[in-house]
Amino acid sequence: MRRTSHFPGRDALKSSCSTVDTHSYDERRLRPLPAGLPQGYIETMSSNAELQAIDSVMIVDDSGVQRSIGAALCRDLQIGQIYEAEDGLAALALLDSLASPPDLLIVDLEMPKMDGPELLEALSGRHVRSPIIVASSRESALRHSVEDMGTALGLRILGSLPKPLTNASLGALLQRQPEVKRMGPAAKAEPVDPEELRSALERGDITVFYHPQVEIGTCRLRGVEALARWRHARLGWVPPDAFIPVAEQHGLIHALTLRVMDVAMAQTARWSRLGLDLSIAINLSPHLLERGALVKEISDLQHLHQLRAEQVVLEVTESSLLRDLAIALGVLTRLRLRGFRLSLDDYGTGFSSMQQLARIPFTELKIDRTFVHGASERESLQVILRSALDMASELGLETVAEGVESLEDWHLVRQYGCTMAQGWLLAKAMPAEQFEPWVQQLHSQRAQLRI
């Protein structure tokens, strides 16, 4: 049975906020899915408990008609509790009266009293962790700008949709976000003790995970990127962005990098003996490019593990080249003379990419994920991505697209002639023992990738 009522005990909000209890949980489990949804979404809804965990939604829109359309769609998507607010102020008041925030928010942009961007700022200030969908009849470039703003504020922005919403558009967006559910406040990471990191390096506790890189034209595995991982006895897995800066600040980055290189090259050699001829990409910190001895240290490891120099790809970011350009150029040119490949990582995130491409003998351009994931929906990103890939082709560089997380991403970078792809569509970074089973999975995934 369906019933509509105003939120109890909040008479002042009756004209602007309401709650709709559409049906009980058991009824939602038994109801068939609505017509008009993409087949992939239907499969996801039927097999993924995470999507069925969306029990409540708040629709914030000054148009009663648009709120009604959104509420009907949410009922069709089996969402049991639907709250409505006519602007940002009403939404905040309604949030204050709820025991816990809704599992999903759908926010319009143009509203009186408090508009969508103002509401996002307020939600960020309140540390709201509910996923958010931006909905507006305004142009896509404006919607995408608000998406970026929300992400920069630390909000969980799922994406944006044009109004009026439809079953197909809302269902497709949720399909691409299989982990949509309300989260509590983000846990504050404990600072890393540099002495504990030093001890971990001495004990060999720093491990290496491997992120596959697949050739787009053939769907063949071409290489892996080596990524440092640290499992702390008390803290669990410590994220790299928490311990790598500490290593740089306390003179540990040299030992950390050589540890990763040694482990990664040894593993690459083992795979070679098994018939897997792969390249291994390793990140170089800006601090290391000031060490003239680095060239010999990397060469010694390469010879120790009997790898070909061209199997080793050394990734540097644009910021790596801003400290002491003369010394960095000397180190990189000597590495290239010895046959190592050089990759400009996170291309597009700095201000001097083209200048660095002209100065340094790079062999590869790695496109940052911000220009790849979701580019199929954003014309401005498509222009930037296509231009970067065209330029790399003219310069004779191989290209790697980071952040390929959907088939739409894959198809776009394939259309634009990118060499390799790396991202969660293919696999997450994994320890060595999981790699060979994943290679077998890649064989079965090729048919889907070649469509």
Domain positions in the chain are 3-175, 195-449
Mean pLDDT for 93-120 is: 93
Name the region of 104 (left: φ>0; alpha: ψ -120 to 50; beta: rest).
Answer: beta
Q: Give the per-residue pLDDT at 362.
A: 93
Name the pLDDT band for 323 (thresholds 50, 70, 90): low
Instruction: Tell me the pLDDT of the chain averaged across its residues.
Output: 84
pLDDT at 324 over 50: yes
Class (C level, CATH) for 195-449: alpha beta
Q: Give the per-residue pLDDT at 141.
A: 82
pLDDT at 399 over 60: yes
For 154-211, write each residue's pLDDT tens digit: 999 998 999 999 988 888 888 765 455 444 444 456 788 999 999 999 999 999 999 9
pLDDT at 113 over 50: yes
pLDDT at 37 over 50: no
pLDDT at 275 over 60: yes
Task: Look at 111-125, 294-308, 339-353 and tell me which has the smallest mean pLDDT.
Answer: 339-353
pLDDT at 36 over 90: no
pLDDT at 321 over 90: no
Name the pLDDT band for 280 (thresholds 50, 70, 90): very high
Name the pLDDT band for 353 (thresholds 50, 70, 90): low
Mean pLDDT for 53-60 is: 89
pLDDT at 320 over 80: no
Q: Which of 345, 356, 282, 289 has its CA nearest to residue 313?
A: 282
For 377-397, write each residue's pLDDT tens digit: 888 899 999 999 999 999 999
pLDDT at 31 over 70: no
Mean pLDDT for 278-295 is: 93
Q: Which fold has domain 3-175?
A: Rossmann fold (3.40.50)
Between residues 112 and 279, which one has the greater pLDDT?
279
